[in-house]
């Protein structure tokens, strides 16, 4: 089984629409880094996604580092600054798709948003 995880910071004031936009950017950007065969299997299985939360930038960067070490495709998202958030603010991390068991080793302790 494959899945994708989106991790969002909760220390940033974002409207629901902005949060959804940042999560969407993270999903697409991470997908573009995944192996084509894994992406195809994930799509065939229904594109399972889970959105989780972290308290701050430090925690988000730690998760990214763990993904890099585990060779899980990921994408760190920084805002362009056109609406609610200052340009360059890191808002979210897209992880996978990849094997669910592999991603859970990195994100299994995080809570659902």
CA dihedral sign, ordered 15, 95, 75, 49: negative
Q: How confident is the model at residue 81 (pLDDT cuts 50, 70, 90)?
A: confident
Instruction: Give the per-residue pLDDT at 64.
Output: 98
Instruction: Considering only CA atoms, give the Rg of the chain.
Output: 13
> What pLDDT was estimated at residue 83?
87
Number of domains making up the chain: 1
CATH number of the structural domain spanning residue 82:
3.40.1490.10
| Residue 80 in this model has a pLDDT that exceeds 90 | no
Decide if pLDDT at 12 tops 90. Answer: yes
Q: Helical H runs in the chain? A: 16-33, 36-44, 57-69, 100-107
Give the global pTM.
Answer: 0.95
Q: Which two tokens stand for residue 66?
A: 């763990």
Name the residue range of residue 97's domain. Answer: 2-112
Compute the average pLDDT of residues 80-104: 95
Location of structure tokens 């974002």: 14
Distance CA 47, CA 42 (A): 5
How far is Cα 12 from Cα 97, in angstroms, rounded to an integer?
Answer: 25
């Amino acid at each position: 089984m494959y899945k994708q995880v989106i991790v969002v910071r909760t220390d940033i004031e974002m409207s629901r629409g902005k949060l959804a936009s940042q999560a969407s950017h993270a999903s697409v950007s991470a997908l573009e880094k995944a192996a084509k065969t894994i992406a195809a299997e994930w799509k065939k299985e229904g594109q399972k996604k889970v959105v989780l939360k972290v308290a701050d930038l430090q925690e988000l960067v730690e998760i990214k580092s763990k993904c890099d070490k585990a060779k899980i495709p990921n994408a760190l998202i920084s805002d362009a600054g056109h609406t609610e958030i200052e340009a360059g603010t890191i808002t979210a991390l897209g992880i996978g798709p990849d094997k669910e068991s592999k991603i859970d080793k990195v994100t299994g302790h995080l809570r659902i948003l």
